[in-house]
Structure formats: structure tokens, C-alpha cells
Amino acid sequence: MTHYKLTYFDIDGGRAEPVRIAFHAAGIEFEDDRISFAEFGKMRKSTRFNSLPVLEIDGAAVTQSNAMCHYVGKMAGLYPEDDLQALYCDEVMAAMEDLLHYIVRTFGLEGGELKRAREKLVDGWLSVILRGLDELLTRGGGNYFADSRMTMADLKVFVQTKSLLAGTLDHVPPDIVQRLAPGLVGHTERVESDPRVVAYYASRQ
């Protein structure tokens, strides 16, 4: 039996969360290696791109969260087989990686520097990407981004949108999703109530 080990921060969220959900949805056992930020600081230079997540498949390390989403998503039936729908799914996931890149750049800042960086983010890329995602959800039919069903694109957007709606980022208005991408509010509720997602979070209790 193949041994999977997924290493990421000890949080329910971030780049590894869609992969964790997909593993659980597929019924595939995996080692959920959750580490602290301090632990990552010590091991950072030993990772291929100085970053997480890292997925080990029988000891062989693979990086890049979207690549993991493709791989595990296919095993879980959460990635489109149709080429065009797969393209739509990939477009959304790539946009989310762009957004995460800009958000992560504000981590570690404090005080006025953090406030200015987050306000710039809100006025710039966060607004651009949220509006774009709302358009892509409409293109997909309004309920899901691709294939008329939940895919890895939906899981990836759900994880970040849920965080924004909860107001977890200082100096980012908690109503920004409602104002700029109202379709994502219902989308978050839809994904969160999917039995596979419900089962995953129940397993975390």
C-alpha cells in the first residue's frame, strides 16, 4: 500500500487544506504531519523550494499545492475529466495561488506597516481576484466553478473565502466578500455543507 505523508502547518486552512479534504473524500489514509511555524523555520532550507506543503509518496517528496490538488483530486473524483472543464478548474486554482502569494507577503509585518500592506492588498489584488472569481463562478453556472459539481477549484476557493468571511486577516474588512463577490458567500455555504467536507471536519473533532 502506498504511504502518503502530507507536511504542512498545524492549522485548519491554507494551501494543504484542499488536499487533506480530498484525501479524506477518497478514503485514502495519509499521514497528516502538522508542524509549528518554529519547526518549519528549522527545516525550511531542507525543502525543495523552501516552502510547504510537501507531499511524500513512499518517501519521495513532491511540492506545489496545485500539483497535489490535481493528483489527489483525481483519486477522489474531484477533478474534471473533460479537458475544457479541467482548464476552468485550473484557472481558478491558479488565481487562488496568486491571491495566496500576495496575502502571505503581508505575514510577519506589524503595526502601521501591516496596516498599510493590508490596505494596499484590499484596494489592489484582493479586490481584483475576488471580482474575477465571482465572474468565474457565474461562468460555471453559479453553483460551482467547473463540471457542474464540486471540484478541487471549489475546495481551494472555499478554504480562503471561509477565512475572509471569518475576518481572520487584520485590516481586511470582513464584509469584503459580500461586497465584491456575493456569489462566493452562497458558494462557501454550499461547499461547507457538502457531505464529504462535513465528514472531513467531523473527523477533526
Q: For the chain of 205 residues, list the mean pLDDT of each consecutive stretch of 10.
A: 97 96 98 97 95 98 98 98 98 97 95 97 97 98 98 98 96 96 98 98 93
Considering the domain architecture, whether residues 91 and 132 belong to the same structural domain is answered as yes
What is the model's pLDDT at position 91? 98
* Of 135, 122, 101, the residue nearest 171 (C-alpha): 122
pLDDT reported for residue 88? 98
Q: Which single residue is written with the C-alpha cell 491558479?
A: 94
φ, ψ at 50 (rounded to 5°): 55, 40
Together in a domain, 106 and 162: yes
Q: What range defines the domain where residue 188 resides?
A: 83-194
Q: How far is CA 44 from CA 8, 48, 49, 53, in A?
A: 12, 9, 8, 11
**String of DSSP letters for 65-105:** HHHHHHHHHHHTT-S-SSHHHHHHHHHHHHHHHHHHHHHHT
- 130 contacts: CB under 8 Å, gap ≥ 6: 176, 177, 180, 181, 184
- Are residues 94 and 62 both part of a single domain? no
What's the pLDDT score for residue 71? 98
pLDDT at position 67? 98
The pTM score is 0.96
Radius of gyration of the chain (CA): 17
CATH number at residue 25: 3.40.30.10
* Residue 203 counted as domain residue: no
Domains in the chain, number: 2
Residue 205 lies in a domain: no
The domain boundary, picked from 22, 50, 77, lies at 77
Residue 111 three-state SS: helix
Same-domain pairing of 47 and 109: no
Residues 88 and 188 placed together within one structural domain of the fold: yes
Contact (Cβ atoms closer than 8 angstroms) between residue 200 and residue 174: no
Q: Which residues contact 183 (CB under 8 A, 6 or more apart)?
A: 134, 137, 138, 142
Neighbours of 29 (CB within 10 A): 12
User: Would you state the pLDDT for residue 99?
Assistant: 96
Element (H, E) at 61: strand 60-63
Q: Are 126 and 181 in contact (CB under 8 A)?
A: no
Q: Is residue 199 part of a domain?
A: no
* Whether 72 and 114 share a structural domain: no
Are residue 68 and residue 106 in the same domain, yes or no? Answer: no
Question: What is the CATH classification number for the domain harbouring 98?
Answer: 1.20.1050.10
